[in-house]
Amino acid sequence: MYRTVFSILFLGHILGDFYFQTQKAAKLKEKSIKKALTHCALYAFACFIVILPAINKWLSLAAAFLSISHLIIDLFKCAIIRSFSKYKEKEPILYITDQALHLICIIAAAIFVAANCNTLNVPYGIDYIFEVIGTGKSQALSSLLLILLVWKPANITIKKLLASYKPEEEPENNADKNAGGFIGFLERIVILLFLSIGQYSAIGLVLTAKSIARYNKISEDKQFAEYYLLGTLLSAAIAIFSYFVLF
């Protein structure tokens, strides 16, 4: 019960904090309380959308708690950012702390719901759909959460954590940035596919093939090689960790 509730609430967080928020909006909310409030309203919308199929009093309370706690955490983070001119140097720590606090709130909310609610009732139509496609609701939810987790959240996490290691070079255009993010997403999807069929050794082939494609730049630029290695290992670690946590 706890696992299912956690997955539902975590799905709301992933949608609200990553998919319902653009990079531009994330920057603007650091300087504007109005933008922060708009983001938190969208976050609340995401939280309530995901609980609709099984909505009850306890899930509604959990969604409300997460929405309010998200607002408090984000406003506190924005205050810190506005107070320190050199916050960029501490951005990885600030990002990890921010997400850790949100995660603690989600865990607390899931425990609260699981302790007060014995079962989650969903409409018969939803049960019937899962019967037709031959999969359980929990498995489908975990699969959806896994795919969403290794896409935009993983890309943003890698970018935030490795910002200080990125080589100084000509600015990338949006097309290059989007291509890099999509390549990373495909890499993690392939890793997940190999994990799902138990072909763990094949993961090394994926990483090797990726390195061969960048061999010239890796061999010529030591700083890029270090950045590339950190990014590749972190990307693979996120995929592997997410898979074993959810499955």
> What is the reported pLDDT for 118?
82
247 residues of the chain, pLDDT tens digit each: 889 999 999 999 999 999 998 888 887 777 778 888 899 999 999 999 999 988 899 999 999 999 999 999 999 988 887 777 666 677 889 999 999 999 999 999 999 999 998 888 877 667 767 777 777 788 889 999 999 999 999 999 999 999 888 887 655 555 556 777 888 999 999 999 999 999 998 998 888 888 887 778 788 888 888 888 899 999 999 999 999 999 8
pLDDT at 230: 92
> In this structure, how many other beta carbons lie within 10 angstroms of the beta carbon of residue 37?
14
Question: pLDDT, tens digit, for every residue of 118-133?
Answer: 888 877 667 767 777 7
Give domain status of residue 113, yes or no: yes
Structure tokens of 61?
């309370």
Nearest in space to 229 (alpha carbons), one of 219, 240, 243:
219
Q: Is residue 140 part of a domain?
A: no
What is the tally of structural domains in the chain? 2
Is 144 a domain residue? no
Q: How many residues does the chain have?
A: 247
Q: Which two tokens stand for residue 93?
A: 């720590």
Rounded to two decimals, what is the model's pTM?
Answer: 0.89
Instruction: Give yes or no: residues 190 and 104 share one domain.
Output: no
| Same-domain status, 20 and 109 | yes
What pLDDT is stored for residue 52 in this prediction?
A: 92
- Domain of 69, in residue numbers: 1-135
Residues 118 and 14 in one domain: yes
Residue 18 lies in a domain: yes
Classify residue 191: in a domain, yes or no. yes
Domain boundary pick from 135, 166, 191: 135
Same domain, 156 and 98: no
35 domain-assigned: yes
Q: 117 and 171 in one domain?
A: no
Q: Are residues 129 and 171 in the same domain?
A: no
What percent of the chain is helix, strand and coil (3-state, nearest 5)? 85, 0, 15
CA-to-CA distance for 61 and 59, rounded, in angstroms?
5
